[in-house]
Structure 1
Amino acid sequence: MVAFGGTRRGGGGGAACWEAAVGSPRAGLGGLVVGYGGFAETAAGVVVRREVPAPELVLLISLGEPLALVRDGVAVRADAALVGIGRGPVEAAHGGRQSVLEVRLSPLAAGALFGVSASEPAERIVDVGELWPGTPELVERLRADAGWAERFARVEDVLVARAERGRAADPVVAGSWRQVVDSRGDLAIGALHEHSGWSRKRMARRFRAEIGLTPKAMANLVRFEHAVDLLRRPGRRSLAEVALWCGYCDQAHFNREFKEHAGCTPTAFLAGLGLDAPGRDMAAAGRPTPRISKTGTSHPPTVE
């Protein structure tokens, strides 16, 4: 069963109140499910956040109003959405009140849980109703559940059932993916070819089909995630130290790739964290394992 990590709350009065819960998957879902998160927020008005990308799939289920998400100019409104792996940010908005259950997934889970390769939702946001026929019923049951622990357990039951019927990822690709993650993106791509025995062209094709991005693009995204983790930590290093620690050639290289993924510079990202206390605190409260994270703001939220 789900290992429930408890709920934390913050804010005060009727504005900027939030709560975040976290859970870990049972052993049977190891390698597929990274973790569960529950997030609820009440604000004074409309809130818009830019969520930075991470090297994982994210299943979002709204317990209130439909999700309002935008990626690459394409808007999606849905009660449940699968955010595919992508290199750029996703804009998320709500009208002042939201409650969302989040499941963070390895890209290796795409075939097992959704019956598609990770390349299909890559750079996109997909309405889960297109993949799971019983989505409306699941959403209604989650909304009726008493709390986060019960919701996590219900979603996990669905995931376990689907994993038992789903297809496993190619073991060679899975091993290469773990190499990229374990190195935090700081590795020579040639090492993947040597380890697998595949040609560069074959590795790029199979890796992209199973994971959603090419090995090089995924390594860049994993390295970016490591940098974001370091920037979020209390008592963080300087930007130059973070760039060096994560394997960027120099500060210009760091700034260029950071802007590609986050849509802003590292300096602007830090300014956004400082101005959006609820978003920052929910991210910190809901992610006890910072190596793989999703929520975060790269610019201040707008409140109307």
Structure 2
Amino acid sequence: MTGVSDGSVALPARSLRPFVRRYEGYRLSGFPAGSHVGMPSVDLTIILPIGAPLTISRTAMIDQSPGEFGALASGLGVEPVVIEHDGYQHGIQISLTPAGCRALLHVPPAALRQYIVSLDDLLGDDAPRLLDGVHAASGWAAAFTVVDRILVGRLGRATLPDARLDRAWIQLTGPASVTVGQVAADAEWSRRRLETRFASEFSVTPRDAIRLGRFTRAHAMLRAPEPPRFAEVASACGYFDQAHMARDWRSLAGSAPSVWRANEVFASVQDDSTASATGSTV
């Protein structure tokens, strides 16, 4: 049986765009049963399963047991998560910027680390309203409108981080080649001060932020149905060479990009260039 993908990618309401990267609705069926690797990223992740909970066989934190998880959030880090599936997955993934963690979940990213945290613990009464609305929605656009409404209502209730930390995150994870020392100088901090403040806010080091930026860009390019050659991806994403990219992928994803691409049945079914773009303008 040929796998079928019915999904949609949407921008959030305008007031949410500094905090939410995108919404990604997915409904995948008819694929072979197997494992899906949840990759480290520059974004935090909220997942709203529609139907069955997620079965996670490998968590990112060694002191958190695998198991079944409903609606969840997870923070920043450098470890992959492994999700088992029977060839069917249905839900919405929300990608938050680090600033969005404070603005919408009302905690800094370091409070989550890479633990899998129930949305009930983070959103309180908003969690059941969000899930009930998404389950009742008649389509992707209606579901994304529900998410917009709940998240917009959570704005303005939390203190945002020092602007220098937000700027440092953008500099270190962006495409421009910068050093930790340059970013520290821009913030008018010592390098040690930057490293301490950065880790206390984001739970990753400045060097790991650089790695996550490169990796996220490479992952996005390799998700395409017809991705560029690996050497081209490595050059475009700031790696020294293809071997450097392969070493980083083995560390962050658990396998070289060629192995991930060959084994990941969901690699390109939700590629941004093929999914329909919807979204509100609140």
Superposed pair shares fold, TM > 0.5: yes
> Closer, same or farther in 2 for the Cα pair 1:18/1:227, shift >3 Å?
closer
User: What whole-Å deviation, never above 9, does each CA across 1:47-70 have from its counterpart, x for those lacking one?
Assistant: 421122211001101111112233
Aligned 8 A contact 2:7 2:276 in 1: no
1:271 corresponds in structure 2 to 262
The alpha carbon displacement at 1:279 in A equals 4.3
Distance 1:287 1:263 in 2: 30
1:1-304 paired onto structure 2 within 5 Å = 16-43=3-30, 46-69=33-56, 70-72=58-60, 74-134=65-125, 135-183=127-175, 186-233=177-224, 236-273=227-264, 276=265, 278-284=266-272, 285-286=274-275
Q: Determine helix, strand or coil for the equivalent of 2:172.
A: helix
The answer to whether the 8 Å contact 1:25/1:33 transfers is yes
How many residue pairs end up in the alignment?
Answer: 271
What is the CA–CA distance in structure 1 between the aligned matches of 2:241 and 2:31, rounded to whole Å? 41
CA 1:287–1:93 in 2, change beyond 3 Å: closer, same or farther? farther
Compared CA separation, residues 27 and 176, structure 1 to 2 (3 A): same
- Structure-2 separation of matches of 1:44 and 1:198: 51
Distance 2:133 2:214 in 1: 38
Distance in 2 between the 1:147 and 1:234 partners? Answer: 25
TM-score, length-scaled by structure 1: 0.81
Deviations 1:66-125 (A, max 9, x none): 122332363243321102112121112234433111111101111111121101212222
Q: Secondary structure at the match of 1:82?
A: strand
Aligned AA (1:281): V
Displacement of 1:34: 0.4
CA contact (8 A) 2:173 2:212 kept: no
**CA distance, structure 2, for counterparts of residue 213 and residue 50 of structure 1:** 20
Q: CA deviation at 1:160?
A: 1.0
Q: Which runs of 5+ in 2 are unaligned?
A: 278-282
Q: Is the 8 A contact 1:55 1:221 kept in 2?
A: yes
**Unpaired segments of 5 or more residues in structure 1?**
1-12, 289-304
Structure 1 residues 129 and 203, CA gap change in structure 2 (3 angstroms): same
Q: Whose strand proportion is higher, 1 or 2?
A: 1
* Separation (CA, whole Å) in 2 of partners of 1:287 and 1:52: 23
Paired AA for residue 282 in structure 1: Q
* Distance in 2 (alpha carbons) for counterparts of 1:45 and 1:76: 21
* CA distance, structure 2, for counterparts of residue 61 and residue 37 of structure 1: 10
C-alpha contact (below 8 Å) 1:76/1:125 kept by paired residues: no
Alignment RMSD: 2.3
The alpha-carbon distance between structure 1 residues 218 and 91, as it changes in their structure 2 partners (threshold 3 A), is same
Q: Could you say which residue in structure 1 is the equivalent of 2:280?
A: none
TM-score computed with the length of structure 2 as normaliser: 0.87
Identity %: 28
Q: Kindly state the Cα deviation for residue 269 of structure 1 after the two structures are TM-superposed.
A: 2.0
Separation of aligned partners in 2, 1:158 and 1:58: 16
> For residues 250 and 23 of structure 1, what CA distance do their matches in structure 2 show?
34
